[in-house]
Chains A and B, each alone.
Chain A
Amino acid sequence: MMQHTGTLRLNFVDGLLSHPGFMETDGCYCLCVPENQSLLLVEEHGGNPIHHELNMEIVLEKNASLHLLKYQNLQSSAHLHATLKIIQQEGSHLQAGFFSKGALEESQTLTLHQTGTGATSLLYGFSGPTQDRQCLRHEMDIHHLAPYGQSRMLFRGILDGQSKTFLRGRVNVSPDGKHATVSQGSHYLLLSDRAEASTLPELEISQDEIKCSHGATIGQLDEEALFYLCSRGIGPDHAEKMLRQAFVADVFENIPSPLKPWLFQQMGYDHESPV
C-alpha cells in the first residue's frame, strides 16, 4: 500500500490513469495516509470509456486527514463503475466530495469503516444538471465500529430530461459505536416532469447512546422565490441561476479553497464572492 501526503491528482482519461507514480495492484489502487499526515486527493474522470471499472482502497492512519474530491465529466455514452473502501483509524478525518456531471451511467459505491475512536467523516456531493437518459447511482455504506465517531452526508442534485438518480445512504452503528453522531441530508431539484430522483436513507442502529438525524426533499424551483427576485428587476434566467446556485451552496462550500474556482467552473457555477 503506497503512502501519500500533500496533494495527489489522479486524472483518468478514457479509463486510463495518466499518472506515472501510482500503480494498480491486483486491479485495485491502494493508498495510505500516514499517521498525523494529510492528503488532498483529486480523482478526475474524462473522455469516453465504454466501461471503466475503478476499485480503490484507502487507509487513514491515526489522526490522518484526507480530502478526496471525485469529479467526473465523462461523455454522454460513457459508463463508470467505481468502488471505494476507506478505513478510518483513531482520530482521523475524512472529507469526500462526489461531483458528477456527465456519463450515461455512473455507479459510485463507498464502504466506510470507522474502526478508531473519534473518527469523523463528511460525505458530500452534487450531480447535475443531469440530462437525457443519464442514470447516476451513489451507494454509501457507513459503519460506526468505534465510539465517538461522527458521520455526515449531504448530497444534492439537479435533474432534467428523463435522467435518474438513486442515492442510498446506509449507516450502521455497531454496539461499539457509542456516542456516534450521524446526520444525512439529500435534496433534489427536478427541472422536468420525466426526471426521477430516489433517495433512500437506511439507519441500522444497535446502540442507544447516539444522535441521529436525516432529511430528504425532492421538488422543483420555488416559484414564489423566482417571482420575488424578478419583481426586483432581476431577469428570469439570472434569477433561476441564483436559485440553482443557492440550492448547491452548502455542498459547494465544502470544496477545498484552492479547487473552488476550477470546480465551480467545471460544474457551470459562478465562483464569485457575493460582493
Chain B
Amino acid sequence: MNQKKEIREMKKILEIENLCAEIKDDSACAKTILHGFSLDIRPGEVHAIMGPNGSGKSTLSHILAGKEGYSVTDGHVLFEQENLLALSPEARAARGLFLAFQYPVEIAGVNNTHFLRTALNSIRKTHDLPPLDAMDFLALIADKMQQVGMDKKFLQRAVNEGFSGGEKKRNEILQMLLLEPKLAILDETDSGLDVDALQTVAKGVNSLRAPDRSFIVITHYQRLLDYIVPDIVHVMINGRIVKTGDATLASEVEKKGYGWLETDHP
C-alpha cells in the first residue's frame, strides 16, 4: 500500500503545498494574495482553475514562472521533485515550465524570429543539444505557425509589437508549441479571443496534449473548457482552492456564478 502511494507521489510533476504569498511592498502593509494554496498535478493531466477577479489566479501563475515582486511567506512548490521557487525564471523554462502570459509583453526592436530562435536554442543548450541553424529553425517554425494560423509576416515583426489581442495570444501558443514544455500554464489565454481564434488556440493546445505533458488552464469562462476539456476543475477564491471537481464543475460555475462557493467557504 505504502509502495503504491510512493509511486503515485513520485509521479507528480507539480506539487504545491500550502503556498502563502504576498505582493512585495516597502511599506508595512504588504498585501497577502495566496492563503495556503495547494495543488498536485500529474503528467498528462489538464487542470482548469476558475475564480472571480482578484482571487489570486494570475499571482499564482507569476510566482510559478518566477516573476519578481512577490514574497512567499509559507509553503513550498516542487517541480519534478525540485524546489521550483529556488530556480531562476530561465532555469524553470529550461526544466520545462511555460507560462502563456495574460498580457504578452511588446518588445520593440527585438525581431520575433530572433527571439523565438534564441529561446529555443537557449533551452536546447541546457539539454546539451546543438543549436538549430537558420534553415532548420525556419522549417520548424513554419510548421508551428501553420498550426496556430499565423501568417509568416509575424516572424519579421518585433515581438508582439502592434499585434492585436488575438495575435498576441496566438504568438504565446506558438512559443508553447515550439518549446514543448512539460507543464504549460495558460493564464486567461481565452480573453480577447473571438470564436475562431479560440478554436485555433485550443487546437494548438490539444495537439500538445500527451501522457508526459500537463496543463494549468486559468480562465473565467467555461467556453475555453468546451474546447480544451480538463480532467480536473478547481475553483479558487481568496487565494486558495475552495472546490475541486470534474469538467461538470465548470458548467455549474457558469450557471450559478461564484456566490454559492463563497458562502460555503467564507
Q: Do A and B bind each other?
A: yes
Whether A223 and B99, one on each chain, are in contact in the complex, defined by CB atoms closer than 8 angstroms, is no
Q: Identify A231's interface contact among B66, B107, B110, B120, CB under 8 A.
A: B66
- Assuming A275-B114, A275-B137, is B109 touching A230 (CB within 8 A)? no
Residues of chain B contacted by A233 (CB below 8 angstroms): 90, 93-94, 119-120, 122-123, 126, 179
Whether A223 and B68, one on each chain, are in contact in the complex, defined by CB atoms closer than 8 angstroms, is yes
Question: Does B117 interact with chain A (Cβ within 8 Å)?
Answer: yes
Whether B90 and A234, one on each chain, are in contact in the complex, defined by CB atoms closer than 8 angstroms, is yes
List residues of B (146-170) whose CB comes within 8 Å of A's CBs: 158-159
**Which of the candidate stretches A52-60, A147-155, A189-197, A238-246 sits at the interface with the other chain?**
A238-246
Question: Does A12 interact with chain B (Cβ within 8 Å)?
Answer: no
Residues of chain B contacted by A243 (CB below 8 angstroms): 107, 110
Q: Identify B111's interface contact among A230, A235, A248, A274, CB under 8 A.
A: A274
Whether B109 and A247, one on each chain, are in contact in the complex, defined by CB atoms closer than 8 angstroms, is yes
List residues of B (79-136) whose CB comes within 8 Å of A's CBs: 88-90, 92-94, 98-99, 101, 104-105, 107-111, 113-115, 117-120, 122-123, 126, 134
Whether A242 and B110, one on each chain, are in contact in the complex, defined by CB atoms closer than 8 angstroms, is yes
Residues of chain B contacted by A84 (CB below 8 angstroms): none
Whether B105 and A224, one on each chain, are in contact in the complex, defined by CB atoms closer than 8 angstroms, is yes
- Give chain A nearest CB distance to B220 CB in angstroms: 23
Whether B109 and A275, one on each chain, are in contact in the complex, defined by CB atoms closer than 8 angstroms, is no
Whether A227 and B68, one on each chain, are in contact in the complex, defined by CB atoms closer than 8 angstroms, is yes
Question: Does A225 interact with chain B (Cβ within 8 Å)?
Answer: yes
Question: Does B46 interact with chain A (Cβ within 8 Å)?
Answer: no
Whether B90 and A235, one on each chain, are in contact in the complex, defined by CB atoms closer than 8 angstroms, is yes
- Give chain A nearest CB distance to B94 CB in angstroms: 5
Q: Identify A238's interface contact among B68, B98, B118, CB under 8 A.
A: B118
Name the CB-closest residue of B to A249. Answer: B109
Q: A246–B105 Cα gap in the complex (Å)?
A: 14
- Give chain B nearest CB distance to A188 CB in angstroms: 15
Whether A246 and B107, one on each chain, are in contact in the complex, defined by CB atoms closer than 8 angstroms, is yes
Residues of chain B contacted by A232 (CB below 8 angstroms): 90, 93, 115, 119, 122-123, 175, 179
Which of B92, B99, B114 has the most chain A CB atoms closer than 10 A to its own CB?
B114
Residues of chain B contacted by A224 (CB below 8 angstroms): 105
List residues of A (235-275) whose CB comes within 8 Å of B's CBs: 235-236, 238-239, 242-243, 245-250, 274-275
Residues of chain B contacted by A235 (CB below 8 angstroms): 90, 122
Whether B101 and A234, one on each chain, are in contact in the complex, defined by CB atoms closer than 8 angstroms, is no
- Give chain B nearest CB distance to A41 CB in angstroms: 28
Residues of chain B contacted by A247 (CB below 8 angstroms): 109
Name the CB-closest residue of A to B67. Answer: A227
- Give chain B nearest CB distance to A245 CB in angstroms: 7
Count of A interface residues, CB-CB < 8 Å: 26
Question: Does A22 interact with chain B (Cβ within 8 Å)?
Answer: no
Name the CB-closest residue of A to B106. Answer: A225
Q: A223–B158 Cα gap in the complex (Å)?
A: 17
Name the CB-closest residue of A to B104. Answer: A228
Residues of chain B contacted by A242 (CB below 8 angstroms): 110, 114-115, 118
Residues of chain B contacted by A230 (CB below 8 angstroms): 66, 88-90, 93
Question: Does A17 interact with chain B (Cβ within 8 Å)?
Answer: no
Q: A269–B4 Cα gap in the complex (Å)?
A: 56
Residues of chain B contacted by A245 (CB below 8 angstroms): 109-110
Residues of chain B contacted by A238 (CB below 8 angstroms): 118, 122
Whether A231 and B89, one on each chain, are in contact in the complex, defined by CB atoms closer than 8 angstroms, is yes
Question: Does A229 interact with chain B (Cβ within 8 Å)?
Answer: yes
- Give chain B nearest CB distance to A189 CB in angstroms: 12
Q: Identify B107's interface contact among A223, A229, A236, CB under 8 A.
A: A229
Name the CB-closest residue of A to B107. Answer: A225
- Give chain A nearest CB distance to B118 CB in angstroms: 6
Name the CB-closest residue of B to A252. Answer: B109
Q: A136–B24 Cα gap in the complex (Å)?
A: 38
Q: A225–B158 Cα gap in the complex (Å)?
A: 12
Q: A227–B68 Cα gap in the complex (Å)?
A: 8
Q: A222–B105 Cα gap in the complex (Å)?
A: 10
Whether B113 and A274, one on each chain, are in contact in the complex, defined by CB atoms closer than 8 angstroms, is yes
Closest 9 CB pairs of A and B: A246-B109, A274-B114, A233-B93, A232-B119, A274-B111, A233-B123, A249-B109, A230-B89, A228-B105
Between A and B, 12 residue pairs with Cβ closer than 8 Å are A227-B66, A227-B68, A227-B105, A229-B110, A231-B89, A231-B93, A232-B175, A233-B120, A233-B122, A233-B126, A242-B114, A275-B138
Residues of B within 8 A of A (CB): 65-68, 88-90, 92-94, 98-99, 101, 104-105, 107-111, 113-115, 117-120, 122-123, 126, 134, 137-138, 158-159, 175, 179
Q: What 4 additional pairs, Cβ within 8 angstroms, besides A231-B89, A234-B118?
A: A227-B66, A232-B123, A233-B90, A243-B107
